[in-house]
Structure formats: structure tokens, C-alpha cells
Amino acid sequence: MKSVEMKSFTIVTFFAAFAVAVPLEDALNGGSGWWGDHHNDHPSHICPQGLYNSPQCCNSHLLGIFGLDCHTPWEKFYDSEDLRQECSKASETALCCVSPVRDQAILCQPPLA
């Protein structure tokens, strides 16, 4: 029975840590991320809030959900079109992903329009 309790504890701890980390990241970045607004009072909406809030440039986008060889764009960008242009400089695809691990983004979707 301890094995089941330990697995449950591990899963709950993982989700609790993730839930704390996402709002903390937003708070540290002033709520809009460093890619925020460009000379206006309203932040640009590049990626949806929540899980898919990490703008990435990826070499591959498999099955519409897997991002491979991803990284945060090198230059600042202010809207989804800037993100697409920045990624296309290296022939990469602009995506909004769940925070990637080791350059692999498991869940990704295209940026907002």
C-alpha cells in the first residue's frame, strides 16, 4: 500500500510545483513576459495563458503536438508575426509550448493570430 501512496504523493507534488511555477514566472516578468507589449498599454497576445505559454522556435512540429529541437527565440519579439519571422530566419516553426525539457517540447500549438 505504501507504493501507491508514494506514487500519489509524487504526482500531487509534481502538479503542485508546476502550478506554483507558472504564476511565479508571470509575476517575475511583469505579467506579460519579456516579449510583452511594444509601445502600447496592452500586452501582445502571442501564446495563450496557461499551459501553452512558452513561445518557442522548433525545428520540427510532429503530429501537431510535438516540438523537437526547440529554443526560445534569440531576439525580442512583440507579437505573433514577429515570433514567426524570428523563427523563420533559421527555417524553424514558431510554436507555443508547455515549458520544454531538454529542447523537446511535448505539447505545442501555433501562436495566436
C-alpha cell read off for 43: 500586452
Predicted confidence band at 38 (pLDDT cuts at 50, 70, 90)?
A: very low
Distance CA 68, CA 59 (A): 6
Structural element, H or E, at residue 61: strand 54-62
Distance CA 79, CA 62 (A): 24
Phi/psi-derived region of residue 15, left when phi > 0, alpha when psi is between -120 and 50, beta in every other case:
alpha
The dihedral of CA 39, 89, 29, 62: what is its sign? positive
Residue 40 has pLDDT above 60, yes or no: no
Q: Are 55 and 47 in contact (CB under 8 A)?
A: yes
Predicted confidence band at 75 (pLDDT cuts at 50, 70, 90)?
A: confident
